């Protein structure tokens, strides 16, 4: 099946809660193959997922069998699981789904590196977008409260402090998580996604004044979500001096890459237009202006995709600490009972094809307690675009 265009991923918190250390280092022989080592083919980018399902939810035996079939064929780290031993347990005459489900749940975690999961049909993230009360395009979705403005008082204080640190010549953009359900061609999904992207572009337009010589993109609190609205919203900053950014990253497997690009007012996966801002897409007064990208351990999934989209861009540099390490991509497999399996099968790479699906290291490591905003400011003001116009 084709890659789900929503690029579904879980948040850092959800992934961490789902994967116990023993699931990666010391699972039973039934789950871990003895001596098997799978090459880290890579990881994709993603979408923030709602809280985990009720512990009493579990797939039926038939659905469990289907999950094994899909994971054995497609999961990124499938070589780390002894599928035959697992299948033998699932099909034993005295098999009890309540006892076999924990084994299969561990197999999902191991074969996905902690990024895949099973969602019951009743899971909130699978409910229709409008049924869940998500706002329409005329009012940006609640996730945008984390975008360009902090939602809690302590965060806002930190944001104000950082903005004061960089000064009036540098534009500051905070990009938070974005989550919504529905297929990429679903009208409500498109409306919510375009509203999110529009919030970002409108903020850039409003801050792009004559004195601006550089920009900060703050992804430190971006735990994931849908990557495409983030990339469309930041398109003015992803643009190179000489025009659009034809390739800003890719989903990679051992055999192929599927490129992401930003051009003609839209974001694309290969030749498929995923989200189209049309004529409303903004261009900077100074295209290709220097950009400092901030990220850290709370940057996950689609947040990591966004960070990689800037890596390799001329006049861009990253600051902070390594990311969460969930830079893998999932596609959705709809199961016979209406539940969904998130299948991790790809690696996320930058525009130059670099990426291993693990934690993303910044160009400049800023230690805990040190001032990443100040480091970004000092680099930006030293760039020709800023130094030439210093007052």
Contact 137, 164 (CB under 8 A): no
pLDDT digits (tens), the chain, 391 positions: 333 333 444 444 444 433 333 233 222 233 333 333 222 222 233 333 334 445 568 899 999 999 999 999 999 999 999 999 999 999 999 888 888 899 999 999 999 988 899 999 988 877 764 343 322 222 333 334 455 543 333 455 676 777 777 888 999 999 999 977 555 557 888 899 999 999 999 999 999 998 899 999 999 999 998 899 999 999 999 998 887 668 999 999 878 899 999 999 999 999 999 999 987 789 999 999 999 999 999 999 999 999 999 999 999 999 999 999 989 888 889 999 999 999 999 999 999 999 999 999 999 999 988 899 999 999 999 999 998 866 5
Name the token pair of 51.
């809280």
- CB-side neighbour CA atoms (13 Å) of 8: 25
- pLDDT for 64 equals 93
Alpha helices by DSSP H, 115-252: 153-166, 187-207, 227-233, 235-238
- pLDDT for 189 equals 82
- pLDDT for 331 equals 86
Contact 319, 290 (CB under 8 A): no
3-state secondary structure of 264: coil
How far is 185 from 276, CA to CA, in rounded Å?
A: 11
- pLDDT for 125 equals 75
How far is 179 from 49, CA to CA, in rounded Å?
A: 7
Sequence-distant (6+) residues with CB within 8 A of 197 are 229, 230, 232, 233, 275, 277
- 5: nearest Cα among 181, 184, 190, 192: 184
- Residue 338, judged by CB atoms within 10 A of its CB (0-12, 13-18, 19+), counts as exposed
Sequence-distant (6+) residues with CB within 8 A of 207 are 171, 172, 173
Q: Work out whether the CA dihedral 272, 275, 276, 277 comes out positive or negative.
A: negative
- pLDDT for 330 equals 84
**Helix axis angle, 83-90 relative to 97-112, nearest 10°?**
160
Convert the pLDDT of each residue in 69-121 to its tens digit.
999 999 999 999 999 999 999 999 988 888 889 999 999 999 998 889 999 99
Per the DSSP assignment, residues forming a β-bridge with 344 are: 330
How far is 248 from 259, CA to CA, in rounded Å?
A: 8
């Amino acid at each position: 099946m084709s890659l789900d265009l929503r690029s579904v991923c879980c948040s850092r918190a959800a992934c961490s809660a789902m994967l116990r250390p023993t699931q990666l280092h010391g699972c039973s022989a039934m789950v871990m193959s003895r001596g098997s080592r799978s090459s880290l083919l890579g990881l994709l980018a993603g979408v923030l997922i709602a809280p985990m399902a009720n512990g009493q939810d579990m797939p039926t035996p038939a659905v469990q069998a289907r999950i094994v079939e899909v994971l054995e064929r497609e999961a990124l780290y499938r070589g780390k699981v002894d599928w035959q031993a697992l299948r033998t347990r699932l099909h034993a005459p005295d098999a009890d789904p309540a006892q076999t489900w924990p084994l299969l749940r561990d197999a999902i975690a191991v074969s996905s590196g902690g990024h895949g999961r099973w969602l019951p049909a009743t899971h909130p993230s699978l409910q229709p977008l409008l049924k869940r009360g998500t706002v329409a395009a005329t009012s940006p979705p609640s996730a945008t409260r984390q975008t360009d403005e902090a939602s809690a008082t302590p965060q806002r204080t930190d944001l104000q402090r950082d903005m004061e640190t960089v000064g009036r010549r540098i534009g500051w953009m905070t990009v938070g998580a974005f989550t919504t359900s529905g297929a990429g061609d679903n009208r409500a999904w498109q409306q919510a996604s375009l509203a999110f992207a529009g919030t970002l572009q409108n903020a850039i337009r409003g801050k792009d004044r004559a004195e601006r010589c550089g920009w900060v993109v703050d992804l430190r609190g971006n735990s994931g979500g849908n990557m495409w609205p983030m990339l469309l919203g930041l398109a003015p900053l992803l643009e190179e001096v000489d025009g659009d950014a034809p390739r800003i990253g890719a989903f990679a497997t051992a055999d192929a890459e599927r490129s992401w690009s930003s051009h003609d007012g839209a974001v694309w996966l290969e030749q498929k237009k995923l989200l189209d801002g049309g004529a409303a897409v903004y261009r900077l007064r100074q295209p290709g202006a220097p950009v400092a990208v901030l990220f850290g351990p709370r940057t996950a999934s689609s947040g990591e995709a966004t960070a990689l989209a800037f890596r390799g861009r001329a006049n861009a540099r990253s600051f902070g600490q390594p990311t969460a390490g969930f830079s893998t991509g999932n596609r959705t497999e709809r199961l016979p009972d209406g539940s969904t399996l998130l299948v991790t099968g790809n690696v996320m790479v930058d525009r130059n094809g670099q990426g291993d699906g693990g934690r993303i290291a910044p160009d400049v490591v800023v230690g805990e307690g040190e001032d990443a905003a100040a480091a970004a400011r000092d680099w930006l003001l030293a760039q020709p675009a800023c130094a030439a116009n210093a007052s």
